[in-house]
Structure 1
C-alpha cells in the first residue's frame, strides 16, 4: 500500500478526510495533526474515510478516540469513521474504538448520519484584527442566543465572545473566524486565528504588561475554555452551559 497519505475535502458543511496507504506508528502524529486541524475549522462534522487504509497494528486506531479525548469539551463537531477496508475493519474489531466513535459501512451513510443525526445551530463570522472586531463578535453571539432561545446565558456568552475576539485582534493580529454552535446543553464559542502563541491566563502583571483581564473574564463566565494548537495557528474555545 505504500506510505500513509491523506486528502481533505468537503461536502456541504461536512469535512471528509480520506486516509490511504499503510498506517504505522510513524504515521500516527500525522493523522492526529490532520484531525485536529479539521476540528479547529469547526465544520458541521468530520467523516474519516478508511476505505484505502491498511493497518499494521490494531492499537494504532486508538489515535481517533485519543484526538476526541483532547477535545472532550470542544469543539461541538461529531466525528465518524466510514467504509473501513478489510484490514481496518479487522483491526477495529480488536479494539474498543467502535464503542467510542460511530463506524459506518459507506462514506455516504456516514455523511447522512452527521447531517441528520443531531443538527446543530451554527453561525460563523470572518473578521479582520480591527478595533471593531470585538463588537462584531459580540453582536453575532447576541443575535444567535436570541434566535436560539438562550436568553439565560446571553450576557455571559457576549462577554466571552467580546474578550476572545479582542484577544485575537490585539495579540494574534491576524484575520480570525468566530464560530458559535449550540449543542445542548452547551453553547460553544470558538475563535480561530493564524498565530501560534497560545492564549494564556495571566492573573498578575508581567514584564509584558498588566494582567490579562479579558481571559480572566472568560475564565469567570465560561463553563470551560482552552486553546487547541494546529499547524497554522490555533483555536481558542469556550463553552457555556445553558440551563
Structure 2
C-alpha cells in the first residue's frame, strides 16, 4: 500500500487540531501519518485529536507509530494527542498492541476536545510581537494575566520572569518577529516563545567557571533554575523555546 493511500483532513478547532484519517495505515503509510502530525505540532495546538472512524490497518505493527507520536506530542509545551471514533476492529488491534493504554481514546472528536485539559482557546493564549524592546513588557503582561485567570497566582512572578528572559533571548540573538504563548494543564503552566531565527539556544557558563557566565546564555540559566523543565524544538521556519512552571 502506498503512502498516498492514507488520507488526512486537518481541521482547526479553536486552539486544537482534529485530523480525520481515512484509508489504510501500514508500514509504508505510517511515515505519512508521522509527517502530518509533526506538521500539526509545529502550530503548537493544545491537543491533536486523530479521528480514525474511516481508518483501516493491514498490519498491527504499523500501530506502534501512534504511541510514538503521542510521546512526541507530549514533548511540546501544553500539547497532547488522543484518538477518537475508534472502530471495533481497530480497537481490538490497539488492545493487542497495548496502544490503548498509552494513547487516550474517546467515542467522538467532540468528546475528546471537551475532556482534554486546555483543549480550547480558554486554555492557551498567544500574542505575536515585533522584535522591539517593549516586547518584554507585553509578554509579561500576557503571562501575568493568564496566571491570574487560571489560578496560577503563586507562580505569577516566576512565569513573568521566564517570559521576559525568553523574549530577551530572541531580541538579542534572533531579532525576528516572535509569538509568545502561555498554556496550562491541571498543575503546570507552559510558557513558549517561537521565533524565526537560525540556531539553537544553549546555556551559558563554563565548567568550573563559578559565577562567571557567558552573556549569551545567562537568561537560559535563569530559566533553567526557576522551572521544572525547559527545551527547544526546531520548526521549519525557526524554533520554539519553552519552559514549564509547576503551580
Tell me whether the two structures share a fold, i.e. TM-score over 0.5.
yes
Other-structure match for 2:193: 191
Cα contact 1:19–1:49 (8 A) shared by 2: yes
Of 75, 78, 96, 2:77 maps to 75
Other-structure match for 1:15: 17
CA distance in 1, matches of 2:89, 2:64: 15
Higher mean displacement: 52-61 or 85-94: 85-94
Cα deviations across residues 142-199 of structure 1 (Å, max 9, x unaligned)?
2222333323212211111111122233333332211112223111111223345323
Is 1:179 the counterpart of 2:184 in the alignment? no
Question: Post-superposition shift, 1:54?
Answer: 2.8
Query: Compared with structure 1, are the counterparts of its residues 119 and 220 closer, same or farther at alpha carbon in structure 2 (3 Å cutoff)?
Result: same
Other-structure match for 2:158: 156
CA distance in 1, matches of 2:237, 2:57: 28
CA distance in 1, matches of 2:70, 2:40: 12
Give the 3-state SS of the residue equivalent to 1:213 in structure 2: helix
Is 1:237 the counterpart of 2:242 in the alignment? yes
TM (norm. structure 1) is 0.82
Higher mean displacement: 48-57 or 150-159: 48-57
CA distance in 1, matches of 2:200, 2:59: 34
1:218-233 counterparts in 2 under 5 A?
Answer: 218-233=223-238
User: What's the C-alpha RMSD, in Å, of the aligned pairs?
Assistant: 3.0
1:90-109 counterparts in 2 under 5 A?
Answer: 90-109=92-111
Segments of structure 1 that go 5 or more residues without pairing to the other structure are none
1:18-37 counterparts in 2 under 5 A?
Answer: 18-37=20-39
Question: Post-superposition shift, 1:240?
Answer: 0.7
State how many pairs are aligned: 239
Cα deviations across residues 106-157 of structure 1 (Å, max 9, x unaligned)?
3343334347989963321111222221221112112222333323212211
Cα contact 1:13–1:44 (8 A) shared by 2: yes
Of 195, 212, 217, 1:212 maps to 217
Cα contact 1:225–1:238 (8 A) shared by 2: yes
Cα contact 2:46–2:120 (8 A) shared by 1: no
CA distance in 2, matches of 1:217, 1:32: 34
Higher mean displacement: 150-159 or 17-26: 17-26
Cα contact 2:231–2:241 (8 A) shared by 1: yes
Cα contact 1:186–1:239 (8 A) shared by 2: yes
